[in-house]
Amino acid sequence: MSGNDNRLITYKDAAAEALFLAMEKDEKVFLMGEGVDNITGVYGQVLPAYRKFGSSRVIDTPLCENGLTGFAIGAALDGMRPVLIHQLNDFMLLTMYQMMNQAAVLRYASGGRHRISLTILSFVARRPGEGVQHSHSLQSVFAHFPGIKVGMPASAVDAKGMLLSAIFDDGPVIILEHRHPTLFDKKEYVSEKYYETPFESKRVVEGEDITIVTVSIALIDAIAAQKELNTENIYPEIIDLRWLRPLDINPVIQSVKKTNCLLVVDTGWKMYGISSEIIAQVCEQAYNYLKCPPRRITLPDAPCPASQFLEPYYHPTAEMIVETVNEMIK
């Protein structure tokens, strides 16, 4: 992107701008969460809004995730548009009853009379020392439940647009941002104007030899792998899912019909994960187009190690993608 209205800003600053614009656009939008008024401003994302709107609309809360979620649901039922912030998505496990047995079902249970315009913004950590209780990537858990949307932006442009789409949606939406510096601090040209990202997958790179479907930060690894594969005359097509629910599977199906090969790279675990769902739907809809079994690159079936020496072997990498693609098509 280029032009007078575009600036080179980081992923985290693009998300901060989304929060600011949403609060400026609609006085019913407010932010709440543990430590949102801290000097760090939730990794810098809340600071612009806090400086402009103050503690009446950026509300620091007690340490009670389940109760906070119930409070936010009540505010949404009363016509507000709360943005509830959890500094790690691991903590959201404490909120599952409120999220999945209240927020996700109330519109259905009321025959559409109740609007639950609730956005839950949280973060996936990936750095040495976070430990087993602060390093999960739980998108497949949340996306399992109907009635709630789940998005994982993989670019600064989408960090802004997807968050704005979530805030002004009439149902509950979870946005999971990945906090690793290769994505969180990555700069891109982002429009300063208000815009929303549609609930669709996005073809990021056009190719013909294999379809690589990515979730969240895996897109960065896939693009790095694509550059290496191009030197070997292998040209992958890369699709960033962006939204896990609703799942826009059609671009994936059409791509597989062209490339005849599928690799899914996910930041979660393999068992019962997003990669399983993608491969299942492709096999149901395009099985006869596949010339080799689909493959997955995910986390190993174990908790994340806290050791800085072990953690690099735990997460998907560009090298893993290059190796797997070569195994599949050569």
Residues tagged active-site:
65, 134
Q: Which helix (H) or strand (E) holds 204?
A: strand 202-205
Torsion sign, CA atoms 202, 206, 209, 215: negative
- 193 Cβ contact list (under 8 Å, min separation 6): 5
**Hey, what are 145's tokens?**
């439940």
Classify each residue of 152-177 as buried b or exposed e, where b means 16 or more C-beta atoms within 10 Å of its C-beta.
bbbbbbbbbbbbbbbbbbebbbbbbb
Report the Cα 260 to chain-centroid distance in Å: 27
Backbone angles phi, psi at 22, to 5 degrees: -65, -40
Rounded Cα–Cα distance for residues 91 and 66 (Å) = 9
Rounded Cα–Cα distance for residues 165 and 176 (Å) = 14
**Hey, what are 185's tokens?**
């601090």
Tokens 């393999």 belong to which residue?
Answer: 270
